[in-house]
Structure 1
């Protein structure tokens, strides 16, 4: 399992990106279906999450089996 932070998530577009702990420039794509499949109510910028990295049909990586470890600090929520 990888660990990181929600960089951003747009519910209207249906996707966002998560950081990878220890890998600065390698954000991981996350689709709305992965959020729903993980029974996560909502992803918000600044949340600390744990997730699996799976390869998509197009060869790119995406997050799956997302688990929220820590809610976002209030100042991160206000930056939306």
Structure 2
């Protein structure tokens, strides 16, 4: 009984890549581009593929620690219609291949 059966293959994709996860294209989330993100205020906007802008708050970005986005990054996310308008949730950066 060597181990708890968590991972049988040797892979280094554990917690070191939590900030930038490989986004599954079939996970049901939309893809868009970061329009701008104010790091000091912790929010910004993502432009959806249809051209609409969606608000994003740092709490809705996947990862641990300091979470931010950079202008022009490709991201995947879900959209929630709140009382203040459209808001991105479950946001992750799409890594360039």
TM-score using structure 2 length: 0.60
List gaps (5 residues or longer) in structure 2: 1-28
List gaps (5 residues or longer) in structure 1: 72-80
Larger Cα-atom Rg? 2
Q: Which whole-Å deviations, capped at 9, do the CAs of 1:28-58 have from their partners, x for residues lacking one?
A: 00012112xx1174310111011000122x2
The structure where helix makes up a greater share of residues is 1
The structure where strand makes up a greater share of residues is 1
RMSD: 1.7
TM-score using structure 1 length: 0.71
Structure 1 segments, 4+ long, off by >2 Å, are none
Which residue number corresponds to residue 20 of structure 2? Answer: none
Question: How many residue pairs get matched?
Answer: 66
